[in-house]
Amino acid sequence: MKIALITGITGQDGSYLAELLLEKGYMVHGVKRRASSFNTQRIDHIYQDQHEAHVNFKLHYGDLTDSTNVIRIIQEVQPDEIYNLGAMSHVKVSFDSPEYVANVDGIGTLRILEAVRILGLEKKTRIYQASTSELYGGLAENKNEKGLYDEQSPFYPRSPYGVAKIYGFWITKNYREAYDIFACNGILFNHESPRRGETFVTRKITMATAAIALGEQDCLYLGNLDAQRDWGHAKDYVEAMWRILQQDEAEDYVIAMGETTYVRDFVKMSFAEVGIDIEFRGEGVDEKGYVASCSNPSYQIEIGKQVIAVDPQYFRPTEVDLLIGDPTKSKTKLGWVPQYDLAGLVKEMMMSDLQYVQREKMLNEVRSTIRY
């Protein structure tokens, strides 16, 4: 039985990867940070209680800022594969906490690599490092002849998050070459799901769309509507992570869909799932979205109502307007074939968030009748 260790297991990617590896017969160990409140909702269906847990699943308290903790966990687990998904991954927030991001996303990667080296596991343990499309910075001149970013495209990160991740990328490559460790970077473009954090733009949009349709919210405020992203489904992307570590040679791979979509169009697609057509008017910070029509009689929403607005507080100090990846290598060498397209992703997210908002609405109605 193979043994895998996943940092960031309570996140979107960690939860889907844990499910995938358990299905493949792995013993899965996950690392989670200690918090005063439970933050395991994405993996609660796997892990319920220490005495009733899945026999092949175990959690450890840990933190990528603590070298001795990282070494202890790896020594105890003796993993065949490490998936380093732990990170402070919110690009906008990284501008507010640049030192913390460098410590976790950059030096945290070094701590894992060095732990494997110190413990003499270079020949046993394979390492996957979660890299990011934010390395490229959106510069047009750095794209390949197809107008996409690939494994040879130069990097130009435009945020503290991207800068920290570029250290993680190069230190992984360095340890691969210096110590012959099977260590790989997966340069993943944006990947989403119903488990995406609520502060990330796609989930923020689908949550707000559901709330607006159900009369629980008036307006959705967004930042740069002209930003374009290459969006895929996290389920597909974690399979690519696993495939990367099953190869004969350690290499780096771009994981992407090869298509790009405006944030504005993601908004339109989300509202279309509930039968609402959105019309945008204006430009820049004055651009607003209005209800043009509603074909679903279940939603009593006023035609002509403004439901989208731009709030400059969501702008980044340095914007990345366009990210689009070239998945040629991952499809040819890994045999990776994504099962979701963007329409399927949006549909799944909207169905999930409609159920979530409806459930919360019912709970609030019940709470309002309770007398304390």
Catalytic amino acids? 132, 134, 161
Euclidean distance between CA atoms 73 and 68, whole angstroms:
9
> In 10 A of CB 222, how many CB atoms?
21
Phi, psi for residue 84 in degrees, rounded to 5: -90, 90
Rounded distance between C-alpha atoms, residue 190 and residue 233, angstroms: 8
Choose among 147, 114, 128: nearest CA to 80: 128
Ramachandran category for residue 60: left, alpha or beta (phi over 0 → left; psi -120 to 50 → alpha): beta
Asked if residues 80 and 2 have their Cβ atoms less than 8 Å apart, the reply is yes
**Terminus-to-terminus CA distance in the chain, angstroms?**
53
